[in-house]
Each structure stands twice: as structure tokens, then as C-alpha cells.
């Protein structure tokens, strides 16, 4: 039982990275109706830029964390303003082509700038120890990640529910024409939402560098999982992305533990089951 | 759209492509004189002699590819600046095998069919080595594997199936599994677990380790296994799983960047406070030593396929010095194995006086080579180079910018290399 609970804690910390990527993916789809295949690449860029600023600014992890994701939000601004804006009204296939092109470009870009090999960064001081939970050593950093995830969820909830900007987002997501007619600057709002999604993914990447290797292609694995999470939770639903990420995170650790041979397939099976029973996802809204 | 028009278009299309392939093709694809013209010139056998190399060049395993390139480049430059092979220059090109057997096989076909390779070398992943090995009979060039370690390459493909084009210059998984068990038999550890690389190499190494250790120490138990696919970035689940079984010893087959990630995470989970011994066969690879640095626990027992401080011979010292002078780094094991593979090619071509595959195979079988790693004898039965590499324990030595090995355990190759006819372990 103790081991079972401890495994759950391990799964929760993995789930939070998924949540940060899936949150932006789902938010961008919910508002802009764009399936951003390059979202994993923004996670990767977040990791690389944070690593870069970490090295540049006297190996201060927190400074890197403050600057890296903001930089990626700026990249998001350029992506949305000059590229994505032209495909909103086109078929999904065009969106996928365009965003997939970004995946390739970003991958080669990091190889050009930082080389093809992985980078490893040290733990931020103060978080590099472990504490005893359930009779076993548990890394303090993982605990920190488990706290950060819900904080982000709270922040997003506050932003969307309690601020004027958030209400405008919700309004234009449900009726773009009406919002436009009422004088909302919808294009600018869209740019803002895309930047927020990019910042979230980049934050996930930035927070991953002390325990995961930073390498080209690191975004390609997480985008698949984040996509599964978003589909399970319901595309466009942040609550769904949060719950979905925790489900997949737990499924992964218990899969490794109890059904190792099958572990890879579990997430896909869960997605298939959800799609059959509730095609709009656990918390998604049914398209009328 | 009249038929005439189509006809004209077709005429143009085919005409242009014919002219293109006929006139330009010969210039573009083979900008050099064809082989038969070469033989008349100055008696050279073929100029240049081309070697197609493959390694993993990017991502968490990319450190290997970089080090392999350094070793290869050093050998090629040394050979070319001292008159080449029988007067012919050596050319080498690298491609990324991406740890995928299908990509590796595609690269091999490109090298032989389009690029005009006379020899193939490299290959990091066992699965990639098998993927390329399976088509070597058809491609009919000599392949010298410099890293991929599965025993199936030499025992099955060469010895049992008779694909004579395959050779391996690096120690096989006997080093990782059998030699590891011979070292582990002297440890007090009784309860062993594995955190394994979930592909050919990880499984085969663990099986050899278990079978050999059980024979030498009937009292040991193997109590848990956790398998991780390539590109796993969180080992928390695997670490927790094996630790739940209360092990004394952990045997782990992760390598390159994955070994670095795993060991870092295992430290955070307090693994090294609880266990007696950690064994990682590929843990003495230079990129892992550099990647972990001071964080490398001294409980870790490691080996590789060549350790730069062994053997203590003038040849090895000179090689390490030359390598350091050229790259400002100490050689990784794949640097040495690839360096030695290119010298093996040189020796074989000089002995055979030709690059024709059957002659090269004859020249390599039974050859003894002096290399930085010591004397290598290429067994004629399975084309496996026989030499030994020590196991050792991690220590932090102020003389080097990375951890090195102490308590070296040198087991003679005869004691841990499986021999033909390769009955089951």
C-alpha cells in the first residue's frame, strides 16, 4: 500500500509537465480552433532558452525560469501574428501542415544553435535534496513541481473567470462574430491567448531541465501525450486537461509497475475508450 | 488535353530525363573516374577508398556520435597524411542511425548503392546492427561494427547463418553480462534487480548476467525488473518499482544521456543510501563521466568497450596523447573502436591488395591487430574481435576533469567470451 501511494506521488509529478503542455494546447484549440502541433516544440524551446539564460546569468535557475518562458511567449506572438492567423479559416489539414513545419524548423534551429547533443543542468540550490515520505526518500524538486501544477490551474481559473480579459476570451470563444460586433479586438485577443499557451508550454519545459535531459526532439514525445490528455479531457476544457494529465501520469507509473509489457499502449487504449463512450471528452462540450 | 500534347509532354519529359541521367548523371553521381580506369593509373586499386559510417548523432545519445566522429577523423587524417592505403586516399561519411533498425538499413543502402562505399562501419544500437547485418549479404560489402553489442550479430548472423560480410571490433554483450557477473560474484549483494533498456541489448545483457551469476553464486536472487523504452525522461516509476523489492544490487543497462538522467534521479530518490552496489556496464563511457561529473556515486561499478587507461602500453599512451592533442578531450570507447576499425580496414586492404569483398573477408579472418585497446584477434568462426576490457569502480580523481576508475578487475577474454558452437547459456 505504501509503495502504491508512493508510486502515485511519482506519477503526479510527471503529470504536471503534461498538464502545462496540455493546458496551452487545449486553451488554444478552445479559443482559436487551431490544433497546434508545434506545441511540444514550444516546451522544448522553453527548456533550451531557460538553460541558455541560466548559463548566461551566473547559473541562477530562477532568473532563467523568469526569462526563458517569456522569450518563448514572444516567439508565440510572431508565430500567431504572421503565420497562424492566415489558416484559421482553412481546413485542419493546413493547420497541421503549418504547425508541423514549425516542429521541423524549431528542431533544426536548436541543433544549429546548441548542437545535437543533450544538455544536463544542475538542480536549483535548496531543491536538490530529498525528504522522507511514506518511509522512502522523495525528491524535494518533484514535490515543488506537484505544487506548481495546481497553482497554475488556480491562476488560469482566476484569469478566465474573474478578469475582464478572461471574460472576453470566453465570450469570443463561444461567439466570435458577436464579440467582434460588440467592439472586442478579437485578433489581438487571439494573439494574447496564443502567447499565454506558448508561455505555459515553455514553463513546463523550463521546469523540466533540472531532472530531464534537454535535447532536440524532446518536444515530440510530450506533444503526443499532451494531445492524448487534451482529447481525454475534452479539447478546449482546462479542467479536462488537468484531470486528464493526472490520469495519464498515474496510468504511466502504475503501468510500469503492474503491466510493464503493456505500459506504452495504456494511454492510447484509454483515449480510444473515451472516444467511443464520450467523443467530446470527459469535460468537453458537445458540439451542437 | 489532346493526345498529341500529352505525347509531346511525355517526349520532353523522357527526353530531358534521359539526357540528364546520361550526360549529367555520370558527372554528378560519380564525379570520379570509375574503378576500371583507376587500375590502369599508377597501379592504384581504387581511389578514394570510401567508408560509410553510422552513429547516433543527436538527442540524449548524441554524445556517442560526436566521439565516434572524432576517432574516425583522427584515423582517416593519420592514414591520408602518411600516404593513404596503398597510395589511395580514404574518404569517410557519417549518417545518423537514430537508434532505428529501418533507418540504419536505409543508410547502409544509400552508402553502397548511391555513394559508392567500399566498407561500412559504426552502428550504436544492437537493434540497428542486426537491421544492417541482415542485409549485408545482399549489399556484399564488409561491415565492421564498432559498438552495437548483441551476441546475435556474431553468433547467429555470422556463425549460424553464414553472413560473412559482418565483423565486430568491439567487445560484445559478454562484457556487459558475463564479465559483470564474474565481478559481481565477489560482492556481498544477494538480491539483484534491473532497471533495463527495453530493447535487444538490455534484455540480452540481463539474461547473461542472471545465468552466469546464478551458476557462480547459487545463493543470489533476482527479485524485480523495470524496463524503460528509449527516450524515457522520467525514471521515477522504474526506480520506485525496483526499490520496493529491497534490492542489495541494481544492474542497469541505460547508456549515454539516459544513464546520466537515471543516475541523477536515482540519487534524488535515495537509492545509493540503501543499496550496496550499482552496476552499469556502459557507465565508463566518456559522455556519462562528463555528464555526471562530481555527482557520480562511488558505489557504481562500470565498464565500457575500451578504457583509456588500459592497457598500460606505449601504443595506447601514444593514441591517447594524439587524440587529446587533436580534440582536447580524452577518447571515449567508441572513438577507439572506430579508430581501430579503420586501421583494420587498412590492414586488410594491404594484405589482400584489393577492395574486393571475398578477399577482404579472407584477410580479416584470423587477423591479429595491435590497437590502442591491446592485441585484438579476429576469430574466423564468428568474426568477433577478442580482447579484454577491465571493470572498475567510480572514483573522483583530481588529476582528471571527470571521474575515473579504481579497483580495476581485469578478466582474461578467454574466461568470459562465449565460444563456438555457442550452445545456450
Instruction: Count A/B contacts: CB-CB distance under 8 Å.
Output: 106
DSSP percent split of chain B into helix, strand, coil, nearest 5: 45, 20, 35
Tell me the shortest Cα–Cα distance from A282 to chain B, in angstroms. Answer: 26
Cβ within 8 Å, pair B257-A120? yes
Cα-to-chain-centroid distance, residue B366: 21
What is the model's pLDDT at position B132?
A: 98
Nearest to A11 among B233, B237, B238 (CB): B237
Tell me the shortest Cα–Cα distance from A153 to chain B, in angstroms. Answer: 23
Q: Would you list which residues of chain B are within 8 Å, Cβ to Cβ, of chain A?
A: 57-60, 62-63, 65-66, 225-229, 231, 233-234, 236-238, 240-241, 243-244, 257-258, 260-261, 264-265, 268-270, 273, 287, 291
Sheet bearing B249-252, strands edge to edge: B221-228, B191-197, B249-252, B277-280, B300-302, B391-395, B404-409
A-interface mutation test, from B96, B233, B243, B292, most A Cβ less than 10 A away: B233
pLDDT single digits (tens) B211-222 = 999 999 999 999
pLDDT single digits (tens) A7-61 = 999 999 999 999 999 999 999 999 998 889 999 999 999 999 999 999 999 889 9
Q: In this structure, what are the phi and psi dihedrals at residue A214, rounded to the nearest 5 degrees?
A: -95, 115
Q: Can you tell me the mean pLDDT for A188-204? A: 96
How many Å is the Cα radius of gyration of chain B?
24
Cβ within 8 Å, pair A208-B233? yes
Among A141-145, A166-170, A186-190, name the most confident range.
A141-145
Assess whether the previous peptide bond of A228 is cis (omega < 30° from 0).
Answer: no
Give the up-direction half-sphere exposure of residue B378: CA atoms within 13 A in the CB hemisphere.
29
Residue ranges for chain B with pLDDT beneath 50: 1-12, 14-41
What is the model's pLDDT at position B346?
A: 98
Q: In this structure, what are the phi and psi dihedrals at residue A123, rounded to the nearest 5 degrees?
A: -70, 145
In angstroms, the CA A284 to CA A273 distance is 15
Give the pLDDT band of residue A91 (cuts 50, 70, 90).
confident
What is the model's pLDDT at position A119?
A: 83
First-to-last CA distance in chain A?
45
Assess whether the previous peptide bond of A54 is cis (omega < 30° from 0).
Answer: no
Cβ pair A154, A21 in contact under 8 A: no
Cβ within 8 Å, pair B60-A211? no
pLDDT single digits (tens) A118-153 = 888 888 988 989 999 988 899 999 999 999 999 999
Nearest to B63 among A117, A128, A252 (CB): A117
B-interface mutation test, from A7, A117, A259, most B Cβ less than 10 A away: A117
Cβ within 8 Å, pair B226-A221? no
Measured between beta carbons, which residues in chain B are less than 8 angstroms from residue A253? 236-237, 240
In this predicted structure, the answer to whether residue A161 has a pLDDT above a threshold of 60 is yes
Strands A130-133 and B300-302: unpaired
SS3 string, A204-254, reads: HHHHHCCCCCECCCHHHHHHHHHHHHHHHHCCCCHHHHHHHHHHHHHHHHH
Instruction: List the single residue in B with minimal CA-CA distance to A252.
Output: B237
Q: Can you tell me the mean pLDDT for A216-240? A: 92
In angstroms, the CA A233 to CA B270 distance is 35
Q: In this structure, what are the phi and psi dihedrals at residue B411, rounded to the nearest 5 degrees?
A: -105, 130
Nearest to B231 among A7, A137, A221 (CB): A221
Helix (H) or strand (E) holding A162: helix A140-162
Report long-range pairs for B24-33 (Cβ below 8 Å, ≥24 apart): B29/B114, B30/B116
pLDDT single digits (tens) A244-284 = 999 999 999 999 989 888 877 899 999 999 999 999 999 98
Measured between beta carbons, which residues in chain A are less than 8 angstroms from residue B57? 116
Cβ pair B416, B178 in contact under 8 A: yes
Instruction: List the single residue in A with minimal CA-CA distance to B238.
Output: A256
Give the pLDDT band of residue A287 (cuts 50, 70, 90).
low
What is the model's pLDDT at position B43?
A: 61
Measured between beta carbons, which residues in chain B are less than 8 angstroms from residue A118? 59-60, 62-63, 257, 260
DSSP state of B373: T
What is the model's pLDDT at position A254?
A: 94
Q: State pTM to two decimals.
A: 0.89
What is the model's pLDDT at position A172?
A: 86
Cβ within 8 Å, pair A120-B238? no
Q: Can you tell me the mean pLDDT for A183-210? A: 95
What is the model's pLDDT at position A175?
A: 84
Cβ within 8 Å, pair B59-A215? yes
First-to-last CA distance in chain B?
71
Tell me the shortest Cα–Cα distance from B297 to chain A, in angstroms. Answer: 15
Angle at B46 between CA B43 and CA B47, to 5 degrees: 105
What is the model's pLDDT at position B285?
A: 96
Three-state DSSP state, A156: helix
Measured between beta carbons, which residues in chain A are less than 8 angstroms from residue B270? 130, 136-137
Amino acid at each position: 500500500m505504501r509503495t502504491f501511494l508512493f508510486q502515485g506521488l511519482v506519477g503526479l509529478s510527471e503529470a504536471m509537465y503534461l498538464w502545462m503542455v496540455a493546458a496551452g494546447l487545449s486553451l488554444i484549440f478552445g479559443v482559436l480552433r487551431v490544433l497546434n502541433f508545434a506545441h511540444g516544440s514550444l516546451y522544448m524551446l522553453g527548456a533550451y532558452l531557460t538553460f541558455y539564460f541560466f548559463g548566461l546569468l551566473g547559473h541562477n535557475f530562477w532568473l532563467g525560469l523568469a526569462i526563458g518562458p517569456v522569450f518563448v511567449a514572444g516567439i508565440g506572438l510572431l508565430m500567431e501574428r504572421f503565420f497562424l492567423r492566415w489558416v484559421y479559416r482553412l481546413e485542419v489539414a493546413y493547420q497541421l501542415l503549418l504547425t508541423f513545419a514549425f516542429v521541423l524548423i524549431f528542431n533544426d534551429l536548436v541543433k544549429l544553435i546548441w548542437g545535437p547533443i543533450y544538455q544536463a543542468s544542475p538542480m536549483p540550490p535548496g531543491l536538490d535534496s530529498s525528504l522522507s515520505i511514506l518511509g522512502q526518500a522523495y525528491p524535494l524538486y518533484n514535490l515543488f513541481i506537484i505544487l506548481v501544477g495546481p497553482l497554475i490551474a488556480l491562476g488560469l481559473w482566476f484569469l478566465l473567470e474573474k478578469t475582464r480579459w478572461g471574460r472576453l476570451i470566453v465570450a469570443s470563444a463561444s461567439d466570435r462574430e458577436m464579440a467582434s460586433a460588440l467592439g472586442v479586438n478579437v485578433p489581438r485577443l487571439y494573439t494574447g491567448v496564443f502567447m499565454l499557451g506558448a508561455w505555459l508550454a515553455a514553463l513546463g519545459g523550463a521546469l523540466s531541465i533540472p531532472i530531464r535531459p534537454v535535447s532536440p526532439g524532446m518536444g515530440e514525445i510530450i506533444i503526443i501525450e499532451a494531445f492524448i490528455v487534451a482529447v481525454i479531457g475534452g479539447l478546449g476544457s482546462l479542467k479536462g486537461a488537468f484531470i486528464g494529465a493526472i490520469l495519464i501520469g498515474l496510468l504511466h507509473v502504475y503501468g510500469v509497475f503492474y503491466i510493464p509489457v503493456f505500459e506504452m499502449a495504456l494511454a492510447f487504449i484509454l483515449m480510444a475508450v473515451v472516444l467511443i463512450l464520450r467523443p467530446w471528452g470527459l469535460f468537453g462540450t458537445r458540439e451542437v | 488535353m489532346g493526345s498529341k500534347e500529352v505525347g509531346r509532354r511525355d517526349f520532353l519529359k523522357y527526353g530531358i530525363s534521359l539526357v540528364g541521367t546520361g550526360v549529367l548523371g555520370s558527372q554528378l553521381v560519380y564525379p570520379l573516374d570509375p574503378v576500371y580506369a583507376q587500375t590502369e593509373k599508377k597501379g592504384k586499386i581504387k581511389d578514394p577508398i570510401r567508408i560509410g559510417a553510422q552513429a547516433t548523432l543527436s538527442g540524449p545519445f548524441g554524445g556517442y556520435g560526436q566521439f565516434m566522429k572524432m576517432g574516425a577523423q583522427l584515423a582517416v587524417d593519420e592514414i591520408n597524411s602518411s600516404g593513404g592505403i596503398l597510395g589511395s586516399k580514404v574518404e569517410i561519411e557519417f549518417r545518423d542511425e537514430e537508434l532505428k533498425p529501418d533507418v540504419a538499413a536505409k543508410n547502409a543502402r544509400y552508402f553502397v548503392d548511391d555513394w559508392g562505399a567500399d566498407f561500412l562501419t559504426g552502428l550504436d544500437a544492437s537493434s540497428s546492427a542486426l537491421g544492417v547485418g541482415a542485409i549485408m549479404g545482399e549489399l556484399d560489402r564488409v561491415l565492421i561494427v564498432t559498438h552495437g553489442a548483441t551476441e546475435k550479430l556474431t553468433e547467429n548472423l555470422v556463425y549460424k547463418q553464414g553472413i560473412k560480410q559482418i565483423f565486430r571490433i568491439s567487445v560484445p554483450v559478454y562484457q556487459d553480462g558475463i564479465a559483470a557477473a564474474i565481478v559481481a560474484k565477489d560482492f556481498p549483494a544477494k538480491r539483484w534487480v534491473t532497471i533495463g533498456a527495453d530493447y535487444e541489448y538490455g534484455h540480452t545483457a540481463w539474461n547473461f548476467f542472471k545465468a552466469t551469476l546464478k551458476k557462480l553464486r547459487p545463493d543470489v536472487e533476482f527479485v524485480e525488473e523495470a524496463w524503460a523504452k528509449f527516450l524515457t525522461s522520467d525514471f521515477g516509476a522504474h526506480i520506485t518499482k525496483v526499490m520496493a523489492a529491497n534490492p542489495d544490487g541494481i544492474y542497469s543497462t541505460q547508456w549515454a544521456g539516459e544513464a546520466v538522467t537515471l543516475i541523477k534521479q536515482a540519487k534524488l530518490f535515495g537509492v545509493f543510501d540503501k543499496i550496496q552496489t550499482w552496476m552499469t556496464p556502459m557507465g565508463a563511457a566518456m559522455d556519462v563521466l562528463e555528464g555526471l561529473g562530481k555527482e557520480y556515486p562511488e558505489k557504481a561499478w562500470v565498464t565500457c568497450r575500451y578504457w583509456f587507461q588500459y592497457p598500460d602500453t606505449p601504443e595506447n599512451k601514444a593514441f591517447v596523447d594524439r587524440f587529446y592533442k587533436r580534440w582536447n578531450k580524452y577518447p571515449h570507447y567508441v572513438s577507439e573502436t572506430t579508430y581501430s576499425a579503420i586501421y583494420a580496414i587498412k590492414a586488410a586492404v594491404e594484405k589482400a591488395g584489393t577492395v574486393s569483398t571475398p578477399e577482404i573477408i579472407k584477410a580479416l579472418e584470423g587477423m591479429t591487430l595491435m590497437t590502442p585497446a591491446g592485441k585484438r584477434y579476429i576469430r574466423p568462426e564468428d568474426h568477433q574481435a577478442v580482447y579484454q576490457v577491465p571493470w572498475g569502480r567510480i572514483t573522483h580523481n583530481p588529476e582528471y576533469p571527470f571521474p575515473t576508475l579504481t579497483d580495476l578487475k581485469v578478466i582474461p577474454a578467454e574466461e568470459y567470451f562465449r565460444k563456438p558452437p555457442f550452445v545456450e547459456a
